[in-house]
Structure 1
Amino acid sequence: MLVFSLTELCLSPKVSMLSRIHPLTRCSYSSAVTATSSFYDIIIIGGGMVGNAMACSLGLSEYLKSKKILVLDSAEIKAPTKNSPYGYRVTAVAPHSVLLFQKLGIWNDLVDLRVKRVDRLQVLDSCSHSSIRFAQPDPCNEVAHMIENNAIIGFLANRIKTSCPNVTIRTKVKVVDCRTPSGLDEFATVALDNGTKLQTSLIIGADGARSMVRDMLDFKYTSWGYGQSAVVANLRVQAMENNCVAWERFTPSGPVALLPLTENMSSVTWTTSAEHAEKLLSLPPEEFVNELNDFLTTDIHQNSITNQFLSLTGQVLKGVFPVSEKPKLTFPTVISLYEGTRARFPLAFGHTYSYVVPRAALIGDAAHRIHPLAGQGVNLGWSDVKILLSCLEQCVIDGGDLGSLTYLSDYDTQGQRRNVPVQVACDWLNRLYLTSNTPLILIRSLGPYRLPDINNLSNALNMATTLTVSHSWQ
């Protein structure tokens, strides 16, 4: 889903401030539980893009290389090849996440497989002539890279297998229970469906928005649905500029986004009502393509009062600032649908009041679920990984207990200060752009209508804003 990151927001929500060393084990990578020891220093429940990034980061850390780490994943890892068809689960990896992948040693592998560079994002409002262009101040820098989820997971798992001898990955296993003590005098426990019982100093829940770990450990969690669904699909398109531009159009039913995958292929994320989403899934491919092309270009929702005011404002600004005329913006033309790539996902907001309890921490969607309209999606999860890693490394340096709130609360505070403002902004933007109220359309249109054309202010905005375009479903 299309996302532009607001990480530079300075809001700081009030967050409550709430080791054993074991011999190295040889790395194993299996789909059956065969552990000879029931104890692991850290157990990560949930693989995926965030859980495997956490495991890889821990395994490569000089401070944690003596710790036994276990990853439990219910799914099987299948990395794509160059000849594999593109899947519909794709993510736009932000520049700061690229740095993480470079540090973990998987970036070159991803590039060698297939990665699509996104040079800029063009955002339009279907209710007015307002638009805004996001790009890096240096045109040599990208705003994102489009990458398949399975490729990220596959290369992370392979890196763990080859370079992290203290990390064990077990796939196709099911966790049926996990418990944490009230203090540090006991270990946390994890039970599997085959009867295996494990003990650990720290459970890390990375099992997604419907987190079983979060529920079993009674984390306080608030959530609400948006009454919207996102329909995703892969499309054959005819685009200009080598298809290196991501497009988003806000409509009264939700945004529709086109994200480039190759020079002639894009991924669409079409946010709409749950009922309309069901209809879109049932349409024949030709009808789906026709309806999407119409949705991207129709002027049926244009607000004449807003457009008249914007035109007048533009004339006034010309006498004050050096303003250049905007070029005519044209969406790529959708030619056809790649069969078997359509899917539908419900959208919701979710927030865990605290990401930690003694001997447990949540990361990624297990801790925070964000509307993909204007958030960071999985990129926030990768930020969690970096923050939690730093806190655990400090714990080892100090000789502390990995499950102690002395260190876990630092992760909670830093993570919430980063994530909560973005979640709130995403929720607010979704509500703002769903309205057809003329005064609100005017308010949301005024800034984008002329700001990108004012060079100094535009450069300042671009430097202050890290842009991410992403849709990912764990």
Structure 2
Amino acid sequence: MSAATGSAQPRIVIAGGGLAGLSLALALKQALADGVDVVMADPALKRDPHGDKRSYAIAAAARRMLQALGVWGAVAEKAQPILDMVITDSRLQDPVRPTFLTFAGEVDGNEPFAHMVTAGDLTAALLEACRGAGVGLRAEGVKGFAPQAGHTDVTFTGGEVLPAALLVAADGARSRLREQAGIGWISWPYNQSGIVATIAHERDHEGRAVEHFLPSGPFAILPLKPEAQADGRVKHRSSIVWTERSEAVPALLESNPEDLLAELERRFGLQLGKLAFETKPQAHPLSFGVARSFVAERLALLGDAAHVIHPIAGQGLNLGLHDVAALAEIIADAMRLGLDPGGADVLDSYERARRASITAMGIMTDGLNRLFSNDMLPVRLIRDLGLGLVDRMPGLKRFFIREAAGLRDTSPRLLRGEAL
């Protein structure tokens, strides 16, 4: 009998049913089976996951993890591999947009360094796998928690209280559980907003991702899987992440459709032919944020509850999935040794495993945004010279592409495609 659960197995409660939370629930249940009771709590579990049309870039290491968890096969046919990437740097009014850096999109043979996946498709696959693995799914939130001797009492919004060995807060950047634990949050705004939308276009993108560095911020074009139409034609599609100064965003989104489309074309270009909005553009303020600690007594922070970075490198979700791989491995190894999954030593190991990597990624993305969202001529000349030099150094380009893919020999086992 476990003191943490009142049952034969230690219980782990995960608050937040996003991609990171679901991945952790599945990884723990697959690794430990009947040795752990995993409970996932999120009111969003009531909704149809396919309604989420957001798109994410899944780096090669994260894809290997999803394959090891047995869910990649369910989304592989709908995923678009990124086959190459082009980086430009110009002003919006410049008549020519020169290419300064190109990356081939393959690592380790023919493996693409990233795939574009719709959030709804991946969420649905993870939910189905969680149900099959025996994860307890509760369509309600976690209201609070109270650490006790040897466990923490988790209170759900419906009023029930369950003892747990560990509570994982995967409840987003405005995490109420992080706040309740008294964990500080270091943050600053960027005075930028990210406008996201799906764009239909006439011509095939051929798997190419493009990042235009403009004075207001990067404008990214990310290829999506083409869709077959009832009339036999193919609809070509891309996702955009349009970074704009926050004060300019309301006027853009409130303008008439023709004017908004014209502004899109100025940034997108006409290389893929006629454009159309397939989804309504939505804007999200951009900021940097990191928790002063990723753990507290019987609590671990996961994903956006622990860190938020600028989307300039497309690493936000991938950082969260790295959290999953590290925490799942640390808990699984500890429990096989008979250790308490919510014990201080286990949580300290998670803190050490993630702190340096997240700090480095935060510094890098913050620096890149400040460097490239800048129209000062000397800065432009220096950064363009740097991009040109990197483009002429194949070894350095391979290093950068492997880093973007998340492929490191020291990565947790799941990110290497190995089962726990």
TM-score interval, smaller chain: 0.7 to 0.9
Deviation of the 1:284 alpha carbon: 2.8
Q: Which residue identity is paired with 2:272?
A: P
Please tell me whether the aligned partners of residues 101 and 107 of structure 1 are also in contact (alpha carbons under 8 angstroms).
yes
1:274 corresponds to: 246
Alignment of 1:106-185 (within 5 A): 106-112=71-77, 114-127=78-91, 129=98, 131-135=100-104, 136=106, 140-162=110-132, 164-165=133-134, 167-171=135-139, 173-181=140-148, 185=149
2:411 corresponds to: none
Please tell me whether the aligned partners of residues 3 and 151 of structure 2 are also in contact (alpha carbons under 8 angstroms).
no
TM (norm. structure 2) is 0.86
Whose strand proportion is higher, 1 or 2? 2
Mapped to 1, the partners of 2:84 and 2:266 lie a distance apart of 23
Question: Structure 2 residue aligned with 1:72, among 26, 34, 41?
Answer: 41
Task: Structure 2 unaligned segments of length 5 or more: list them.
Answer: 92-96, 227-235, 408-420
Post-superposition Cα deviations, 1:298-342, rounded to whole Å, max 9, x if no partner, equal: xxxxxxxxxxxxxxxxxxxxxxxxxxxxxxxx843452112x432
Distance change >3 Å, CA 375–CA 146, structure 1 → 2: closer
Alignment of 1:250-399 (within 5 A): 250-263=213-226, 264-297=236-269, 331-338=271-278, 340-399=279-338
1:51 corresponds to: 21
Distance change >3 Å, CA 210–CA 176, structure 1 → 2: same
Distance change >3 Å, CA 401–CA 92, structure 1 → 2: same
Whose helix proportion is higher, 1 or 2? 2
TM (norm. structure 1) is 0.77
Mapped to 2, the partners of 1:193 and 1:222 lie a distance apart of 28
Distance change >3 Å, CA 168–CA 286, structure 1 → 2: same
Q: In the alignment, is residue 92 of structure 1 matched against residue 61 of structure 2?
A: no
Distance change >3 Å, CA 407–CA 281, structure 1 → 2: same
Distance change >3 Å, CA 65–CA 357, structure 1 → 2: same
Task: Structure 1 unaligned segments of length 5 or more: list them.
Answer: 1-18, 26-38, 298-329, 469-474
Deviation of the 1:138 alpha carbon: 5.8
Post-superposition Cα deviations, 1:85-116, rounded to whole Å, max 9, x if no partner, equal: xx54111111111111111111111124x111
1:410 corresponds to: 349
Alignment of 1:232-247 (within 5 A): 232-240=196-204, 242-247=205-210
Distance change >3 Å, CA 395–CA 20, structure 1 → 2: farther
Deviation of the 1:73 alpha carbon: 0.4
Q: Which residue identity is paired with 2:88?
A: L
Mapped to 1, the partners of 2:260 and 2:190 lie a distance apart of 23
Please tell me whether the aligned partners of residues 243 and 262 of structure 1 are also in contact (alpha carbons under 8 angstroms).
no
Mapped to 2, the partners of 1:424 and 1:450 lie a distance apart of 22
Deviation of the 1:453 alpha carbon: 3.6
Mapped to 2, the partners of 1:463 and 1:366 lie a distance apart of 26
Mapped to 2, the partners of 1:258 and 1:441 lie a distance apart of 22
Distance change >3 Å, CA 60–CA 20, structure 1 → 2: farther
Farther off after superposition, 377-386 or 399-408: 399-408
The residue matched to 2:312 in structure 1 has which SS?
Answer: coil
1:436 corresponds to: 375
Post-superposition Cα deviations, 1:208-259, rounded to whole Å, max 9, x if no partner, equal: 111111111111211111111111111111345x531011111111111111
The residue matched to 1:111 in structure 2 has which SS?
Answer: helix
Deviation of the 1:460 alpha carbon: 5.1
1:447 corresponds to: 386
Q: Which residue identity is paired with 1:332?
A: L
1:201 corresponds to: 165
Distance change >3 Å, CA 406–CA 334, structure 1 → 2: farther
Distance change >3 Å, CA 40–CA 467, structure 1 → 2: closer
Q: In the alignment, is residue 423 of structure 1 matched against residue 362 of structure 2?
A: yes
The residue matched to 1:365 in structure 2 has which SS?
Answer: helix
Distance change >3 Å, CA 457–CA 416, structure 1 → 2: closer
Please tell me whether the aligned partners of residues 289 and 334 of structure 1 are also in contact (alpha carbons under 8 angstroms).
no
Please tell me whether the aligned partners of residues 40 and 198 of structure 1 are also in contact (alpha carbons under 8 angstroms).
no
Mapped to 1, the partners of 2:84 and 2:117 lie a distance apart of 16
Mapped to 2, the partners of 1:374 and 1:118 lie a distance apart of 14
Question: Structure 2 residue aligned with 1:226, among 164, 181, 190?
Answer: 190
Q: Which residue identity is paired with 2:19?
A: M
Distance change >3 Å, CA 77–CA 156, structure 1 → 2: farther
Please tell me whether the aligned partners of residues 119 and 142 of structure 1 are also in contact (alpha carbons under 8 angstroms).
yes
Post-superposition Cα deviations, 1:251-273, rounded to whole Å, max 9, x if no partner, equal: 11111111111341111111112
The residue matched to 1:294 in structure 2 has which SS?
Answer: helix
Please tell me whether the aligned partners of residues 293 and 333 of structure 1 are also in contact (alpha carbons under 8 angstroms).
no
The residue matched to 2:217 in structure 1 has which SS?
Answer: coil
Deviation of the 1:275 alpha carbon: 2.6
Deviation of the 1:346 alpha carbon: 1.0
Deviation of the 1:186 alpha carbon: 4.0
Please tell me whether the aligned partners of residues 40 and 70 of structure 1 are also in contact (alpha carbons under 8 angstroms).
no
Question: Structure 1 residue aligned with 2:339, among 400, 409, 412?
Answer: 400
Distance change >3 Å, CA 334–CA 267, structure 1 → 2: farther
Q: Which residue identity is paired with 1:382?
A: L
Q: Which residue identity is paired with 2:124?
A: G
Which structure: larger Rg?
1
Please tell me whether the aligned partners of residues 193 and 285 of structure 2 are also in contact (alpha carbons under 8 angstroms).
yes
Mapped to 1, the partners of 2:101 and 2:397 lie a distance apart of 10
Greater relative contact order, per chain length (Cα 8 Å cut-off, separation 6+): 1
Please tell me whether the aligned partners of residues 88 and 213 of structure 2 are also in contact (alpha carbons under 8 angstroms).
yes
Farther off after superposition, 354-363 or 261-270: 261-270
Q: Which residue identity is paired with 1:379?
A: N
Please tell me whether the aligned partners of residues 88 and 101 of structure 2 are also in contact (alpha carbons under 8 angstroms).
yes
1:301 corresponds to: none
Aligned length: 390
Mapped to 2, the partners of 1:137 and 1:407 lie a distance apart of 33
Mapped to 1, the partners of 2:90 and 2:7 lie a distance apart of 58
